[in-house]
Amino acid sequence: MSYKVTLIPGDGIGPEVSAAARRAVDATGVKIDWEIAELNPDIISKTGQSLPQHVVDSLERTGIGLKAPVTTPIAGGYTSVNVALRKRLDLYANVRPVRSLPGLITRFSDVKIDMVIFRENTEDLYSGLEHEVITDVVTSLKVITRTASVRIAETAFRFAASAGRKKVAAIHKANIMKLADGLFLRCCREVAQRHPEIEYKELIVDNASMQLVIKPEQFDVLLLPNLYGDIVSDLAAGLVGGLGVVPGANLGEKHAVFEAVHGSAPDIAGKGISNPTAMMFSAVMMLNHMGEQSAANRLQNAVEKVYSDKRKLTPDVGGTAGTAEFTEAVIAAVAERSIGGASPI
Protein backbone atom coordinates (compact mmCIF):
# COMPACT_ATOMS: atom_id res chain seq x y z
CA MET A 1 0.00 0.00 0.00
CA SER A 2 1.22 3.49 -0.80
CA TYR A 3 0.23 6.71 1.00
CA LYS A 4 -0.20 10.10 -0.60
CA VAL A 5 1.46 12.93 1.31
CA THR A 6 1.78 16.60 0.38
CA LEU A 7 5.39 17.78 0.80
CA ILE A 8 5.84 21.54 1.09
CA PRO A 9 9.61 22.20 0.76
CA GLY A 10 9.21 25.89 1.67
CA ASP A 11 12.14 28.32 1.49
CA GLY A 12 15.28 29.25 3.46
CA ILE A 13 16.51 26.02 5.08
CA GLY A 14 13.14 24.39 4.22
CA PRO A 15 14.24 22.59 1.04
CA GLU A 16 17.34 21.12 2.81
CA VAL A 17 15.58 19.89 5.93
CA SER A 18 12.52 18.60 4.08
CA ALA A 19 14.65 16.68 1.55
CA ALA A 20 16.54 15.13 4.48
CA ALA A 21 13.31 14.15 6.24
CA ARG A 22 11.87 12.70 3.04
CA ARG A 23 14.97 10.53 2.52
CA ALA A 24 14.81 9.36 6.14
CA VAL A 25 11.12 8.41 5.80
CA ASP A 26 11.75 6.62 2.51
CA ALA A 27 14.57 4.67 4.24
CA THR A 28 12.01 3.15 6.64
CA GLY A 29 10.44 1.37 3.67
CA VAL A 30 7.00 2.96 4.08
CA LYS A 31 5.77 3.64 0.53
CA ILE A 32 4.87 7.27 0.10
CA ASP A 33 3.78 8.97 -3.07
CA TRP A 34 5.01 12.51 -2.32
CA GLU A 35 2.99 15.28 -3.93
CA ILE A 36 5.24 18.37 -4.02
CA ALA A 37 3.48 21.69 -3.38
CA GLU A 38 5.88 24.59 -3.82
CA LEU A 39 5.23 27.59 -1.59
CA ASN A 40 7.65 30.46 -1.00
CA PRO A 41 7.64 34.28 -0.94
CA ASP A 42 7.94 34.49 -4.77
CA ILE A 43 4.87 32.31 -5.33
CA ILE A 44 2.96 34.23 -2.66
CA SER A 45 3.80 37.57 -4.28
CA LYS A 46 2.95 36.27 -7.79
CA THR A 47 -0.39 34.73 -6.81
CA GLY A 48 -1.22 37.51 -4.35
CA GLN A 49 -2.22 34.88 -1.77
CA SER A 50 -0.42 33.51 1.30
CA LEU A 51 -2.16 30.23 0.68
CA PRO A 52 -2.55 29.66 -3.07
CA GLN A 53 -5.20 27.22 -4.26
CA HIS A 54 -2.73 24.55 -5.50
CA VAL A 55 -1.51 24.03 -1.93
CA VAL A 56 -5.02 23.76 -0.49
CA ASP A 57 -6.07 21.42 -3.33
CA SER A 58 -3.13 19.11 -2.67
CA LEU A 59 -3.79 18.96 1.09
CA GLU A 60 -7.51 18.38 0.43
CA ARG A 61 -6.54 15.42 -1.78
CA THR A 62 -3.98 13.82 0.51
CA GLY A 63 -5.24 14.86 3.97
CA ILE A 64 -1.62 14.75 5.23
CA GLY A 65 1.15 17.29 4.82
CA LEU A 66 4.82 17.41 5.76
CA LYS A 67 5.63 21.08 5.70
CA ALA A 68 8.92 22.95 5.89
CA PRO A 69 8.97 26.61 6.94
CA VAL A 70 7.65 29.19 4.49
CA THR A 71 8.56 32.89 4.85
CA THR A 72 5.64 35.27 4.57
CA PRO A 73 6.74 38.29 2.44
CA ILE A 74 7.07 41.35 4.69
CA ALA A 75 5.70 43.78 2.09
CA GLY A 76 2.17 43.43 0.75
CA GLY A 77 0.25 42.93 3.96
CA TYR A 78 0.00 39.13 3.58
CA THR A 79 -1.29 37.12 6.53
CA SER A 80 1.19 34.58 7.83
CA VAL A 81 1.22 31.37 5.77
CA ASN A 82 0.94 29.26 8.90
CA VAL A 83 -1.98 31.23 10.28
CA ALA A 84 -3.75 31.04 6.88
CA LEU A 85 -3.17 27.28 6.60
CA ARG A 86 -4.34 26.55 10.13
CA LYS A 87 -7.50 28.59 9.67
CA ARG A 88 -8.30 27.36 6.15
CA LEU A 89 -8.05 23.67 7.07
CA ASP A 90 -9.27 24.21 10.64
CA LEU A 91 -6.12 22.65 12.08
CA TYR A 92 -7.13 23.54 15.60
CA ALA A 93 -4.55 21.64 17.64
CA ASN A 94 -0.86 22.38 17.54
CA VAL A 95 0.99 19.54 19.27
CA ARG A 96 4.67 19.83 20.15
CA PRO A 97 6.53 17.11 22.04
CA VAL A 98 9.59 18.48 23.83
CA ARG A 99 12.00 15.77 24.97
CA SER A 100 15.61 15.52 26.09
CA LEU A 101 17.76 13.81 23.49
CA PRO A 102 20.22 11.13 24.60
CA GLY A 103 23.79 12.38 24.62
CA LEU A 104 22.93 15.96 23.79
CA ILE A 105 24.65 18.41 26.12
CA THR A 106 22.42 21.33 27.08
CA ARG A 107 22.16 23.50 30.18
CA PHE A 108 19.49 21.05 31.34
CA SER A 109 21.18 17.74 30.44
CA ASP A 110 21.02 16.59 34.07
CA VAL A 111 17.21 16.34 34.04
CA LYS A 112 14.89 14.27 31.87
CA ILE A 113 12.51 16.56 30.07
CA ASP A 114 9.50 14.94 28.43
CA MET A 115 6.51 17.19 27.93
CA VAL A 116 3.91 17.68 25.22
CA ILE A 117 2.55 21.12 24.42
CA PHE A 118 -1.05 21.48 23.20
CA ARG A 119 -1.49 24.95 21.74
CA GLU A 120 -4.84 26.22 20.46
CA ASN A 121 -4.22 27.10 16.84
CA THR A 122 -7.07 29.14 15.40
CA GLU A 123 -7.90 32.18 17.53
CA ASP A 124 -6.64 34.38 20.42
CA LEU A 125 -4.49 37.33 19.32
CA TYR A 126 -3.92 35.52 16.01
CA SER A 127 -7.43 36.44 14.86
CA GLY A 128 -5.79 39.23 12.83
CA LEU A 129 -8.40 41.74 14.00
CA GLU A 130 -6.43 44.92 14.47
CA HIS A 131 -7.80 48.39 14.24
CA GLU A 132 -6.37 51.88 14.34
CA VAL A 133 -8.93 53.71 16.45
CA ILE A 134 -7.37 57.12 15.87
CA THR A 135 -3.85 58.03 14.80
CA ASP A 136 -1.32 56.31 17.07
CA VAL A 137 -3.97 54.36 18.99
CA VAL A 138 -4.34 50.73 17.94
CA THR A 139 -6.40 47.84 19.28
CA SER A 140 -5.73 44.18 18.64
CA LEU A 141 -8.58 41.79 19.39
CA LYS A 142 -8.03 38.68 21.45
CA VAL A 143 -10.78 36.22 20.55
CA ILE A 144 -11.44 33.25 22.83
CA THR A 145 -14.42 30.98 22.19
CA ARG A 146 -15.94 28.09 24.13
CA THR A 147 -15.91 25.86 21.03
CA ALA A 148 -12.18 26.27 20.35
CA SER A 149 -11.18 26.10 24.03
CA VAL A 150 -13.17 22.91 24.73
CA ARG A 151 -11.84 21.34 21.54
CA ILE A 152 -8.16 21.90 22.39
CA ALA A 153 -8.70 20.86 26.03
CA GLU A 154 -10.45 17.64 24.96
CA THR A 155 -7.62 16.89 22.53
CA ALA A 156 -5.02 17.37 25.27
CA PHE A 157 -6.85 15.27 27.87
CA ARG A 158 -7.64 12.47 25.41
CA PHE A 159 -4.02 12.38 24.35
CA ALA A 160 -2.91 12.31 28.01
CA ALA A 161 -5.27 9.40 28.74
CA SER A 162 -4.29 7.39 25.66
CA ALA A 163 -0.55 8.02 26.03
CA GLY A 164 -0.49 7.07 29.71
CA ARG A 165 0.42 10.59 30.77
CA LYS A 166 -0.48 11.67 34.28
CA LYS A 167 -0.85 15.46 34.41
CA VAL A 168 -2.28 18.34 32.40
CA ALA A 169 -1.41 21.95 33.27
CA ALA A 170 -3.57 24.73 31.80
CA ILE A 171 -1.59 27.95 31.35
CA HIS A 172 -3.31 31.33 31.43
CA LYS A 173 -3.36 34.95 32.57
CA ALA A 174 -6.94 34.96 33.88
CA ASN A 175 -5.99 37.23 36.77
CA ILE A 176 -5.63 40.04 34.21
CA MET A 177 -7.71 38.91 31.22
CA LYS A 178 -10.60 37.82 33.39
CA LEU A 179 -13.10 37.35 30.58
CA ALA A 180 -10.94 35.92 27.79
CA ASP A 181 -8.56 33.71 29.77
CA GLY A 182 -11.34 33.18 32.30
CA LEU A 183 -13.44 31.49 29.61
CA PHE A 184 -10.45 29.42 28.47
CA LEU A 185 -9.90 28.23 32.05
CA ARG A 186 -13.58 27.44 32.64
CA CYS A 187 -13.56 25.25 29.54
CA CYS A 188 -10.36 23.50 30.68
CA ARG A 189 -11.92 22.82 34.10
CA GLU A 190 -15.07 21.36 32.55
CA VAL A 191 -13.04 19.02 30.39
CA ALA A 192 -10.78 18.13 33.34
CA GLN A 193 -13.85 16.97 35.28
CA ARG A 194 -14.61 14.49 32.51
CA HIS A 195 -11.11 12.99 32.94
CA PRO A 196 -10.71 12.44 36.68
CA GLU A 197 -7.86 9.97 36.12
CA ILE A 198 -5.64 12.84 34.92
CA GLU A 199 -4.26 15.27 37.51
CA TYR A 200 -5.20 18.81 36.51
CA LYS A 201 -3.60 22.07 37.58
CA GLU A 202 -3.50 25.68 36.48
CA LEU A 203 -0.52 28.00 36.23
CA ILE A 204 -0.29 31.67 35.39
CA VAL A 205 1.87 32.04 32.28
CA ASP A 206 4.61 34.11 33.93
CA ASN A 207 4.97 31.63 36.77
CA ALA A 208 4.79 28.74 34.28
CA SER A 209 7.72 30.27 32.37
CA MET A 210 9.82 30.44 35.53
CA GLN A 211 8.82 26.92 36.62
CA LEU A 212 9.77 25.60 33.18
CA VAL A 213 13.29 26.90 33.67
CA ILE A 214 13.63 25.99 37.36
CA LYS A 215 12.10 22.52 37.26
CA PRO A 216 11.24 21.47 33.70
CA GLU A 217 10.97 17.79 34.64
CA GLN A 218 7.73 18.45 36.58
CA PHE A 219 5.79 19.16 33.37
CA ASP A 220 3.85 16.51 31.49
CA VAL A 221 1.09 17.87 29.20
CA LEU A 222 0.76 21.65 28.80
CA LEU A 223 -2.48 23.19 27.56
CA LEU A 224 -2.36 26.75 26.27
CA PRO A 225 -4.18 29.34 24.18
CA ASN A 226 -2.46 30.37 20.95
CA LEU A 227 -0.05 33.17 21.92
CA TYR A 228 1.23 31.68 25.18
CA GLY A 229 1.58 28.39 23.31
CA ASP A 230 3.80 30.03 20.71
CA ILE A 231 6.09 31.67 23.26
CA VAL A 232 6.25 28.75 25.68
CA SER A 233 7.08 26.38 22.76
CA ASP A 234 10.27 28.29 21.95
CA LEU A 235 11.17 28.51 25.63
CA ALA A 236 10.67 24.75 25.98
CA ALA A 237 12.68 24.13 22.78
CA GLY A 238 15.54 26.04 24.40
CA LEU A 239 15.55 23.57 27.31
CA VAL A 240 16.27 20.55 25.08
CA GLY A 241 18.72 21.89 22.50
CA GLY A 242 16.93 24.60 20.57
CA LEU A 243 14.65 25.02 17.60
CA GLY A 244 16.54 22.51 15.48
CA VAL A 245 15.21 19.55 17.45
CA VAL A 246 11.53 20.20 18.27
CA PRO A 247 8.82 18.86 15.93
CA GLY A 248 5.15 19.67 15.66
CA ALA A 249 1.79 18.59 14.31
CA ASN A 250 -1.20 20.70 13.33
CA LEU A 251 -4.27 18.53 13.66
CA GLY A 252 -7.85 19.05 12.49
CA GLU A 253 -10.82 16.75 12.00
CA LYS A 254 -9.93 15.97 8.38
CA HIS A 255 -6.34 17.07 7.87
CA ALA A 256 -2.98 16.88 9.59
CA VAL A 257 0.07 18.97 8.73
CA PHE A 258 3.40 18.14 10.36
CA GLU A 259 6.09 20.80 10.69
CA ALA A 260 9.06 21.83 12.81
CA VAL A 261 8.68 24.61 15.37
CA HIS A 262 11.49 26.59 13.70
CA GLY A 263 11.21 29.14 10.91
CA SER A 264 13.11 29.37 7.62
CA ALA A 265 16.36 30.47 9.34
CA PRO A 266 17.62 32.75 6.52
CA ASP A 267 20.89 33.31 8.45
CA ILE A 268 22.04 29.75 7.71
CA ALA A 269 20.09 28.96 4.52
CA GLY A 270 22.19 27.42 1.73
CA LYS A 271 25.19 26.78 4.01
CA GLY A 272 24.46 23.07 4.37
CA ILE A 273 24.55 23.21 8.17
CA SER A 274 20.84 23.24 9.09
CA ASN A 275 19.66 20.61 11.52
CA PRO A 276 16.94 18.38 10.01
CA THR A 277 16.11 16.70 13.36
CA ALA A 278 12.93 18.72 13.93
CA MET A 279 11.66 17.85 10.45
CA MET A 280 12.60 14.19 10.93
CA PHE A 281 10.78 14.06 14.27
CA SER A 282 7.80 15.78 12.61
CA ALA A 283 7.91 12.93 10.09
CA VAL A 284 7.94 10.46 13.02
CA MET A 285 4.72 12.07 14.26
CA MET A 286 3.33 11.79 10.74
CA LEU A 287 4.18 8.07 10.51
CA ASN A 288 2.49 7.49 13.89
CA HIS A 289 -0.58 9.39 12.66
CA MET A 290 -0.68 7.15 9.58
CA GLY A 291 -0.60 4.04 11.79
CA GLU A 292 2.98 3.16 10.81
CA GLN A 293 4.22 2.85 14.40
CA SER A 294 7.02 0.43 13.64
CA ALA A 295 8.55 2.73 10.98
CA ALA A 296 8.01 5.72 13.30
CA ASN A 297 9.88 3.96 16.12
CA ARG A 298 12.71 2.96 13.79
CA LEU A 299 13.19 6.52 12.59
CA GLN A 300 12.96 7.94 16.12
CA ASN A 301 15.50 5.41 17.39
CA ALA A 302 17.81 6.07 14.44
CA VAL A 303 17.91 9.82 15.11
CA GLU A 304 18.46 9.18 18.83
CA LYS A 305 21.29 6.79 18.04
CA VAL A 306 23.05 9.49 15.99
CA TYR A 307 22.71 11.82 19.00
CA SER A 308 24.07 9.17 21.37
CA ASP A 309 27.06 8.62 19.04
CA LYS A 310 27.70 12.41 19.08
CA ARG A 311 29.99 12.26 16.01
CA LYS A 312 27.65 13.50 13.25
CA LEU A 313 25.79 16.37 14.90
CA THR A 314 25.15 19.77 13.30
CA PRO A 315 26.68 23.02 14.66
CA ASP A 316 23.49 24.29 16.36
CA VAL A 317 23.74 21.37 18.80
CA GLY A 318 27.51 21.58 19.25
CA GLY A 319 28.67 19.36 16.38
CA THR A 320 30.69 19.98 13.22
CA ALA A 321 28.79 17.85 10.69
CA GLY A 322 26.70 19.26 7.85
CA THR A 323 23.06 18.50 7.07
CA ALA A 324 24.09 15.83 4.53
CA GLU A 325 26.44 13.97 6.91
CA PHE A 326 23.85 13.96 9.69
CA THR A 327 21.22 12.68 7.27
CA GLU A 328 23.47 9.88 5.98
CA ALA A 329 24.13 8.81 9.57
CA VAL A 330 20.40 8.67 10.31
CA ILE A 331 19.69 6.69 7.14
CA ALA A 332 22.47 4.23 8.01
CA ALA A 333 20.99 3.84 11.50
CA VAL A 334 17.50 3.24 10.05
CA ALA A 335 18.96 0.48 7.88
CA GLU A 336 20.69 -1.12 10.92
CA ARG A 337 17.49 -0.99 12.91
CA SER A 338 15.56 -2.52 10.00
CA ILE A 339 17.84 -5.55 10.16
CA GLY A 340 17.79 -5.75 13.95
CA GLY A 341 14.07 -5.02 14.34
CA ALA A 342 12.37 -2.09 15.98
CA SER A 343 12.75 -1.28 19.65
CA PRO A 344 9.71 0.62 20.87
CA ILE A 345 10.35 3.95 22.56
Binding site for ligand ATP (CB under 6 A): 13, 17, 69, 243-244, 262-265, 267-268, 274-275, 278, 316
Nearer to ligand ATP, 33 or 267 (CB): 267
Say whether 206 is catalytic: yes
CA atoms of 11 and 28, how far apart (whole Å): 26
Which ranges of the chain does DSSP label H, i.e. alpha helix?
14-27, 41-47, 53-62, 81-88, 146-162, 180-193, 205-214, 226-239, 277-289, 293-309, 323-340
Contact 316, 106 (CB under 8 A): no
Closest CA to 10 of 49, 55, 53: 55
Say whether 181 is catalytic: no
CA atoms of 114 and 92, how far apart (whole Å): 23
Say whether 234 is catalytic: yes
CA atoms of 44 and 28, how far apart (whole Å): 34
Residue 270: CB minimum distance to ligand ATP, A? 12
Say whether 57 is catalytic: no
Number of H helices, E strands in the chain: 11, 12
Residue 210: CB minimum distance to ligand ATP, A? 22
Nearer to ligand ATP, 198 or 317 (CB): 317
Residue 15: CB minimum distance to ligand ATP, A? 12
User: Within 10 A of 120 (CB to CB), how many other CB atoms are there?
Assistant: 27
Nearer to ligand ATP, 69 or 225 (CB): 69
Residues with Cβ within 8 Å of residue 265, at least 6 apart in sequence:
12, 13, 69, 243, 274
> Active-site residue among 90, 114, 220, 234?
234
Residue 232: CB minimum distance to ligand ATP, A? 14
Say whether 307 is catalytic: no
Tell me which amino acid residue 250 is: N
Nearer to ligand ATP, 125 or 243 (CB): 243
Name the residue with the smallest CB distance to ligand ATP. Answer: 263
Residue 230: CB minimum distance to ligand ATP, A? 9
> Active-site residue among 230, 305, 307, 316?
230
Nearer to ligand ATP, 17 or 64 (CB): 17
Tell me the catalytic residues: 126, 173, 206, 230, 234
